[in-house]
Amino acid sequence: MPAVIVEIHVPLLPTPDLPDGAYAFPWIGDVEDFLADLEDEGVVEVHDEGEEHGDAYVFLLTLAGDGDGTGVGAGVEELLAAASRVAAREGVPAGAFAVVSDDGAEEFGLGRRIALPLPEGHEEEKR
């Protein structure tokens, strides 16, 4: 059975007003640290390292659990909530979206697309 993956697509835009010579995308490291903390807490599992894809940087989350893709810990709603928290972080460029996919997808972006951050108090409806 394929494991559920939530892709977080963040526009690859440089942080404005940085000092000369500073890394243009400090938000990437911040998001990676944030996701590592969520992984340590057992909320989600980082599926793979993030990477540039077109004009976005893509982070990959999967269900926390016992490693067989069944996700004992989190469900899709929790993955989307984590993705929403990423999009709402200070410094993360606006325009992020999530794609609900699985580890059998041959490329990024194949699946249900959801705008981020989710509206306050919104639980993604099941389709």
The greatest distance separating any two alpha carbons of the chain, rounded to the nearest whole angstrom, comes to 49
Contacts of 83 (CB under 8 A, 6+ apart): 6, 8, 61, 96, 98, 114, 116
The per-residue b/e assignment along 25-61, b for 16 or more CB within 10 angstroms, e otherwise, is: bebbeebeebbeebeeeebbbbbeebeeeeebbbbbb
Over residues 72-101, the mean pLDDT reads 90
Domain positions in the chain are: 4-115
d(CA 18, CA 24): 7
- Name the average pLDDT for the chain: 87
- pLDDT band at residue 115 using 50, 70 and 90 as cut-offs: very high
pLDDT digits (tens, 9 = 90+) for 44-61: 999 888 999 999 999 999
Over residues 34-51, the mean pLDDT reads 92
Per-residue pLDDT at 72: 46
The architecture that CATH gives domain 4-115 is 2-Layer Sandwich (3.30)
